[in-house]
């Protein structure tokens, strides 16, 4: 990786040299300006606070940074936030933080990292997609957030905060971008003061980009619009009403075989002639899996999302009341090819309400509240493994109801020492009513009905200390817990799986030195991860092969991070972030159906054939000792921002960056093809800003060296060790024009 990184540095240095030859000397007046680092404000703990005063393991990315990096969907964050790994399973967003997440794609599974838009939980991973426009900032919280965020936040949370209306101000912006792969994007927003106490903000985003893969898949074609209406009749009362709509079309996500033999292009698609030809060589079932009678290259996605919410705030003096009801409707209709036909047609309706009271003064900060979540999913999914295996699952109703009460406080024991404490109790019920039909090599029966329900409850907590060593130097220690909800498998009668739980210990230090010019933040962490959920092809209760979720065992996660930023001159800011993460499965046991088991499908020790609890023949894989999937040992980023002043009074803002990650496992079979290579991705952005003008022009090259960044995928169960992976974008280059008014 060192040679790789140095080659990227050389390319970046050459580009910077060319830019500096075009620049003039910086002005003396600018040199005398303030050179301190900016103060970043976050709201992750349900109150506004400086990031440097927070004891959370948190990274904040501004909306301007997202635009500069060309982020239009969640997986684009992978090479922007170290320690975060995001892939897709179909259109489902699979978020992993330090090895905790979920790569299942069926609606009975749960994400391990909570994704929230303006404080509202997004229950369907497929609905995360088209929210990345008119963004104020994104907060990435690492570690369990069981107290303030509750279920499905065992690995952390991602908060997307959009820009809100401003009273008494008429303003807006329009951005037009284009790049290779036929990419065209137009994004804009307008803030309109309707009355002294009323303001509207309307924003939209339209993206049309061809696919990165050889068959046209992995494209991005979406349209989104959002309306915020703010009414603030007084300083202590406000109501924000939001409606938004998004549609995603095109061919949708694509996969690549790994490795693709005899081909030099990593972006050759699994469904291309070359990809199918390779699948056909995997005996004995390969020719039946790659049959052209089954796969005609008809990928598509047709997803829509329609949402509405109202946030009411009332400051009563002694406490502030916030009530946030929301409704989300999501329609998922797609077909993709991760080595087999994967089709989904679902409808999801979510109702959520959070009511909380909070209080802030110099001595105590507290928040407490109630939360309600109600989701119903209907629809069906179809899996077609060529002529070998097919399964169809229909859901007449898959329902989740969850209730929670929570509270958290920070109390100042002295001027320098604060005590943190928080608890949350959650009660939930999951029920399912549906049917499953599967056929293996022509053998199978008709649809088997399944129906049932299961209750779960959890108690999560947080405690810790914060100590101000100096005004700009803080030490902290926290211990916290989180959980990912349990569920019910699609088998008659349905069998449930237990929730995951995680306990995290964090020791950290936040520091600013030299009049805010240098920032050094340190963190050491240890996580204990229990009852982690995995999906495996095994026998269901009818004796048919079925993908079921089971509690596979436990794991340990430990490491450290260093986050450094320096304002070297008024024109130069340097940043570097590095994270070391040592992970291992302390126990890991999966039962796989013996008749379909292939020794090439795993690198784990395997037991002899034996009966499972239902008397069906299985083999047991023991993968204890392996590194957690999608968890590089080392991740990090470096960056430099410089302003070249021009003689005409304008300037060129230069941003060069590189992100890297070490080798990691793409899935939990631990075969050689699932060992994903390390990567270094470097980017350059040059933005011309005229003097006293309200427009700017940016040119960019991202992934300069055309690095193949594999993100994770799935092994073909009947053709191991053939692995199909999602992949990041190749080299992209283009420009963006931005106009503010």
Helices first, then strands: H and E counts in the chain: 5, 42
What's the confidence (pLDDT) of residue 1?
54
Is the Cβ–Cβ distance between 492 and 436 less than 8 Å? yes
- Residue 381 DSSP class: E
Model confidence over 366-381: pLDDT tens digits?
Answer: 999 999 999 999 999 9
What's the confidence (pLDDT) of residue 34?
60
Residue 442: which residues within 8 A CB-CB, separation 6 or more? none
Q: Into how many domains does the chain fold?
A: 1
Model confidence over 517-543: pLDDT tens digits?
Answer: 999 999 999 999 999 888 877 777 777
Residue 88 CB coordination number (10 Å): 28
What's the confidence (pLDDT) of residue 484?
92
Residue 184: which residues within 8 A CB-CB, separation 6 or more? 177, 178, 207, 208, 209
Model confidence over 386-437: pLDDT tens digits?
Answer: 888 888 899 999 999 999 999 999 999 999 999 999 999 999 999 999 998 8
Does an H or E element contain 12, and which? helix 2-21
Distance CA 395, CA 173 (A): 44
Q: Which of 145, 126, 40 is nearest to 75 (CA)?
A: 126
Residue-number span of the structural domain to which 708 is assigned: 2-740
Provide the residue count of the chain: 741
Q: Which of 284, 298, 301, 303 is nearest to 384 (CA)?
A: 298
Count of alpha carbons within 13 angstroms of residue 307, beta-carbon side: 33
What's the confidence (pLDDT) of residue 85?
86
Distance CA 460, CA 465 (A): 18
What's the confidence (pLDDT) of residue 442?
79
Report helix, strand or coil for 273.
Answer: helix
- Residue 80 DSSP class: T
Report helix, strand or coil for 733.
Answer: strand
Distance CA 225, CA 205 (A): 6
What's the confidence (pLDDT) of residue 447?
87
Is the Cβ–Cβ distance between 643 and 25 less than 8 Å? no
Q: What is the dihedral of CA 664, 667, 670, 671, to 10 degrees?
A: -100
Model confidence over 444-457: pLDDT tens digits?
Answer: 777 889 898 999 99
Tokens of 584: 């291992």
Is the Cβ–Cβ distance between 378 and 362 less than 8 Å? no
Q: Which of 451, 450, 460 is nearest to 427 (CA)?
A: 460
Strand partners, 277: none
Tokens of 720: 């191991």
Q: Per DSSP, which regions of 196-271 are E strands?
A: 198-209, 220-234, 237-249, 256-258
What's the confidence (pLDDT) of residue 84?
87
Encode 600-640 in three state secondary structure.
Answer: HHCCCCECCCEECCCCCEEEEEECCCCCCCCCCCEEEEEEE
CATH number of domain containing 38: 2.40.170.20
Distance CA 375, CA 379 (A): 14
Low-confidence ranges of the chain (pLDDT < 70): 1-34, 293
What is the pTM assigned to this prediction? 0.91
Distance CA 501, CA 492 (A): 27
Count of alpha carbons within 13 angstroms of residue 130, beta-carbon side: 29
What's the confidence (pLDDT) of residue 293?
67
């Amino acid at each position: 990786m060192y040679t790789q990184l140095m080659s990227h540095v050389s390319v970046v240095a050459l580009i910077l040299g060319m830019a500096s030859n075009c620049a003039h000397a910086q002005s003396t007046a600018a040199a005398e300006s303030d050179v301190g680092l900016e103060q970043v404000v976050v709201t992750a703990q349900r109150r506004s606070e400086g990031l440097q005063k927070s004891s959370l393991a948190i990274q904040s990315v501004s909306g301007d940074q997202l635009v500069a990096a060309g982020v239009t969907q969640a997986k684009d964050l992978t090479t922007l936030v170290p320690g975060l790994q995001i892939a897709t399973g179909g259109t489902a967003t699979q978020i992993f933080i330090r090895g905790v997440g979920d790569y299942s794609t069926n609606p009975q599974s749960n994400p391990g990292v909570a994704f929230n838009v303006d404080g509202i939980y997004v229950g369907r991973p497929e609905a995360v997609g088209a929210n990345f426009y008119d963004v104020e900032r994104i907060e990435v919280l690492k570690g369990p957030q069981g107290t303030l965020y509750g279920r499905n936040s065992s690995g952390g949370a991602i908060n997307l905060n959009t820009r809100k209306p401003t009273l008494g101000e008429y303003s807006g912006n329009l951005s037009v971008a284009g790049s290779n792969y036929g990419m065209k994007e137009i994004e804009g927003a307008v803030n309109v003061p309707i009355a002294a106490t009323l303001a509207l903000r309307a924003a939209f985003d339209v993206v049309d980009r061809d696919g990165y893969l050889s068959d046209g898949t992995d494209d991005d074609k979406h349209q989104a619009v959002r309306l915020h209406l703010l009414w603030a009749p007084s300083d202590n009362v406000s109501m924000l009403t939001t409606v938004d709509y998004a549609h995603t079309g095109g061919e949708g996500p694509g996969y690549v075989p790994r490795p693709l033999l005899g081909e030099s292009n990593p972006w050759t698609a699994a469904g291309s002639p070359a990809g199918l030809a390779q699948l056909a060589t995997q005996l004995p079932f390969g020719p039946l899996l790659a049959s052209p009678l089954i796969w005609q290259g008809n990928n598509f996605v047709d997803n829509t999302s329609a949402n509405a919410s109202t946030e009411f705030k009332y400051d009563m003096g002694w406490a502030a009341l916030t009530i946030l009801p929301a409704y989300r409707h999501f329609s998922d209709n797609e077909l993709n090819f991760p080595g087999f036909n994967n089709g989904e047609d679902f409808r999801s309706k979510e109702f959520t309400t959070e009511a909380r009271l909070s209080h802030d003064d110099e001595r105590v900060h507290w928040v407490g509240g109630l939360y309600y979540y109600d989701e119903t999913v209907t629809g069906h999914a179809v899996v077609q493994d060529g002529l070998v295996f097919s399964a169809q699952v229909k859901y007449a109703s898959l329902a989740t109801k969850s209730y929670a009460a929570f509270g958290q406080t920070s109390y100042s024991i002295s001027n320098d020492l604060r005590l943190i404490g928080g608890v949350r109790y959650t009660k939930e019920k999951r029920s399912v009513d549906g049917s499953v039909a599967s056929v293996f090599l022509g053998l199978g029966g008709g649809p088997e009905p399944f129906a049932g329900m299961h209750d779960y409850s959890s108690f999560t907590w947080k405690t810790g200390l914060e100590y101000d060593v100096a005004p700009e130097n803080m030490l902290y220690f926290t211990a916290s817990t989180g959980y990912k909800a349990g569920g019910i498998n699609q088998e008659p009668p349905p069998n449930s799986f237990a929730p995951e739980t995680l306990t995290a210990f964090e020791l950290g230090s936040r520091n600013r030195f030299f009049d805010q010019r240098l920032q050094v933040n340190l963190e050491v962490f240890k996580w204990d991860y229990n009852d982690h959920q995995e999906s495996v092809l095994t026998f269901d209760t009818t004796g048919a092969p079925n993908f079921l979720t089971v509690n596979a065992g436990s794991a340990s996660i430990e490491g450290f991070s260093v986050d450094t930023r320096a304002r070297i001159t008024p024109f130069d800011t340097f940043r570097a972030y590095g994270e070391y993460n040592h992970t291992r499965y302390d126990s890991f046991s999966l039962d796989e159906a013996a008749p379909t088991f292939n020794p090439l499908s795993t690198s784990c020790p395997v037991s002899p054939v034996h009966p499972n609890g239902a008397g069906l023949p299985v083999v047991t894989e023991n993968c204890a000792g392996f590194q957690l999937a999608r968890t590089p040992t080392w991740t990090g980023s470096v960056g430099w921002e410089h302003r070249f002043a021009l003689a005409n009074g304008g300037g060129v803002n230069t941003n060069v960056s590189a992100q890297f990650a070490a080798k990691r496992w793409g899935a939990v079979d631990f075969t050689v093809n699932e060992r994903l290579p390390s990567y270094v991705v470097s980017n350059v952005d040059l933005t011309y800003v005229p003097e006293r003008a309200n427009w700017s022009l940016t040119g960019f090259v991202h992934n300069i060296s055309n690095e193949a960044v594999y993100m994770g995928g799935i092994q073909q169960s009947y053709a191991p060790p053939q692995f199909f992976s999602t992949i990041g974008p190749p080299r992209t280059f283009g420009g963006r024009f931005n106009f503010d008014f």
